[in-house]
Amino acid sequence: MMSCAVAVRDLRVERGRRQVLHGVSFEVPRGSVLGLIGPSGCGKTTLMRAVVGVQTVAGGTVTVLGEPAGGPGLRTKVGYSTQSPAVYDDLTVTENLAYFAAVLGAPKTDVARVVAEVGLEDAAGQTARTLSGGQKSRASLAVALLGAPELLVLDEPTVGLDPVLRNELWGLFHRLAAGRGVTLMVSSHVMDEASRCDRLLLMREGEILADDSPGTLRDRTGAADLEAAFLRLIADREAVSDR
């Protein structure tokens, strides 16, 4: 299915002898922005790692851009930004980006482009160790934007950022999706970000509770906002499992 950027079927993952994903299935259409929402520890990072192909899986299939996740053909097509910033502390932002650009075979001009995209021009010459928390996580995000990825998997890319910067980054995400047809999977804890996604995957304890557009979710639950909608969905599920 080439219309589908990511297709996950019955994905099961065990971490530390405990099953943390219990048969998850969903699809992400190309060029859309999928939000991944759910309580801490519900398995968002695990799911993203499986899509990138760095997570050992116990069962099920994960197909990315028509190939099994993590396949050699995907390594320049999938950009991944981990939850905790993954950059070399003793290199400057520019040196970090130049190295990852070389590994990806991306043009050297990409370095300046991604620095501007995440708004780090003023800190580009600073070693990563000396960056503030938000600057460092933007440096890590910038690495994922190098080259021309067709799928971006971003694990809490806007955590610790102010509303202005968050707004700018979400503008960038939508420009990438609308302009270049990039598919994005973005996890978040912030509800106003969730409302900016085309589709939302609400997870709880390794299962998917809901997979809908933000509007549909609000209508279905009859809640005033997304936060209330999620609380209601989670409460409903708990009532079912208690019975």
Ligand X SMILES: Nc1ncnc2c1ncn2[C@@H]1O[C@H](COP(=O)(O)OP(=O)(O)OP(=O)(O)O)[C@@H](O)[C@H]1O
Identify the residue whose tokens are 């000396």. 130
Give the burial string for 206-233 (b: 16+ CB within 10 Å, else e). Answer: bebbbbeebeebbeebebeebeebbeeb
Question: Edge-to-edge strands of the sheet including 59-64?
Answer: 18-29, 4-15, 59-64, 67-68
75 contacts another protein (rule: CB under 8 A): yes
Q: Rounded to the nearest 5°, which phi and psi values hold at 121? A: -50, -45
Residues 133-152, interacting with another protein (CB under 8 A): 143
For position 44 contacting ligand X by CB under 6 A, the verdict is yes
The residue within the footprint of Mg ion, chosen from 32, 83, 126, 195 (CB under 5 A), is 83
Strand order of the sheet with strand 33-37? 78-81, 151-155, 183-187, 33-37, 199-204, 207-212
Kindly state whether residue 159 participates in binding Mg ion, applying the rule CB under 5 A.
Answer: no
Of all residues in this chain, which one has the CB nearest to Mg ion in the complex? 45
Paired strand residues for 35: 186, 200
Among 2, 40, 105, 240, binds another protein (CB under 8 A): 105
Task: Find the part of the chain contacting another protein (CB under 8 A) among 37-45, 90-98, 110-118, 186-194.
Answer: 90-98
Q: Which of 20, 28, 65, 177 binds ligand X (CB under 6 A)?
A: 20
Backbone angles phi, psi at 216, to 5 degrees: -60, -40
Distance (Å, rounded) from C-alpha 114 to C-alpha 108?
A: 11
For residue 46, the partner it binds in Mg ion, ligand X, another protein, none, with Cβ less than 5 to 8 A by kind, is ligand X
Nearest residue to ligand X on Cβ basis: 16
Beta bridge partners of residue 33, listed in sequence order: 184
Q: Beta strand pairing status for 59-64 and 67-68?
A: antiparallel
Spatial contact of 204 and 39, defined as CB atoms under 8 Å apart = yes
Nearer to ligand X, 40 or 241 (CB): 40
The 20-59 contact track toward another protein, x by CB under 8 A, reads --------------------------------xxxxxx--
Q: Taking CB under 6 A as the criterion, which residues in 65-94 touch ligand X?
A: 83
Q: Say whether residue 45 binds Mg ion (CB under 5 A).
A: yes
Three-class DSSP category at 26: strand
Regarding 67 and contact with another protein (CB under 8 A), the answer is no
List residues binding Mg ion (CB under 5 A). 44-45, 83
Binding site for another protein (CB under 8 A): 14-16, 52-57, 70, 72, 75-76, 78, 80, 82, 84-91, 95, 99-100, 102-105, 127, 143
Q: Where along the sequence are the contacts to ligand X (CB under 6 A)? A: 15-16, 20, 38, 40-46, 83
